[in-house]
Amino acid sequence: MLMSILIDEKTNVLIQGLTGTIAQRHALNMKKNNTNILAGVAPKKGGTQVNGWPIFDTVSQALDHIQVDLSLIYAPPMIAANAIMESIETGIETIVCVTEGIPQHDMYRVYKRLTESNSILLGPCSPGVTSPGKSKVGFLPDQICLPGNVGVVGKSGTLTYEICYQMKLEGIGQSSIVGIGGDPIKGLSFKDVIQLFEEDDETDVIVMVGEIGGVEEEEAAEYIKKYVSKSVVAFIAGKNAPKDVPMGHAGALISGGEGGYEEKVNNLKHNGIHVAKSIFEVTNLVKSFYVVDQK
């Protein structure tokens, strides 16, 4: 039986913002992927139902009736931070936030409270996490998924989708796919997720999908060199991006001599990570290690 990180088919899920059209559509897809959604939260809509799921006004009210392991947040940007805080304050262990565009000053407040709690946050601006064949929260496409033994973590949802799909075409599946989001202030980092993959008995190879900007990939590389025994393949997006110009995600900015493509690639290689020059080369590298590690 394949293992997974962060979620499995027994994870009890609460969706904050479930009454929204997009959240409802995604929830039905999650249900098809064996996700155990118990209820939703939407202020002033408590006592109603959405597709058979009961709706509560607050997270606290929901917890009076059900046991929740994970809260998935679909709240709009201006109130999403408060939704995260509500889950933290009620002691929910795992929080996943897919909302994009949360003001940074709100996320500073969330991050400070998060460090004082026992909760972990994936996101914001995360496409979610899926363990193919077991469970899914968020909106990672089913078409890219195949149960297997490669753990994938990425900032860019689109690049992560394409890399997983290319591996799937070669018959290489994933133990879990995790989108950490590209915002500069967020919860779980590359290092955090890679640690989870290192501890997962059914993950044999790890793929890190990074991008220019910041030093998160470099911090992960140093951790990998010291503590990770599994083969790690990386791809860095943004090779031809100009300096001092934001590209894509809020964190994808090369500035002050940090975060450039060459700097990142050299650092990763120095720390023993196999760096692919293209998304197609990722599959070839993974294939070689995947075969070895399956023996």
Q: Which of 11, 3, 8, 13 is nearest to 197 (CA)?
A: 3
DSSP string covering 207-269, please? EEEEESSSSHHHHHHHHHHHH--SEEEEEEE-TTPPTTS--SSTT---BTTBS-HHHHHHHHH
The answer to whether 18 and 72 are in contact (CB under 8 A) is: no
Q: Rounded distance, CA 241 to CA 253, Å?
A: 9
165: Cα separation from own chain's centroid:
17
Contact status, residue 135 vs residue 9, Cβ threshold 8 Å: yes
Task: Specify whether 249 is catalytic.
Answer: yes
Catalytic residue among 26, 105, 249, 274: 249
37/68 Cα distance (integer angstroms)? 9
Q: Are 235 and 210 in contact (CB under 8 A)?
A: yes
Whether 210 contacts 134, CB under 8 Å:
no
89's enclosing H/E stretch is: helix 77-89
**Burial track 181-192 (b if 16+ CB lie within 10 A, e otherwise):** bbbebbbbbbbb
Q: Which amino acid is at 99?
A: T
Answer yes or no: are the C-beta atoms of 274 and 206 closer than 8 Å: no
Catalytic residues: 249
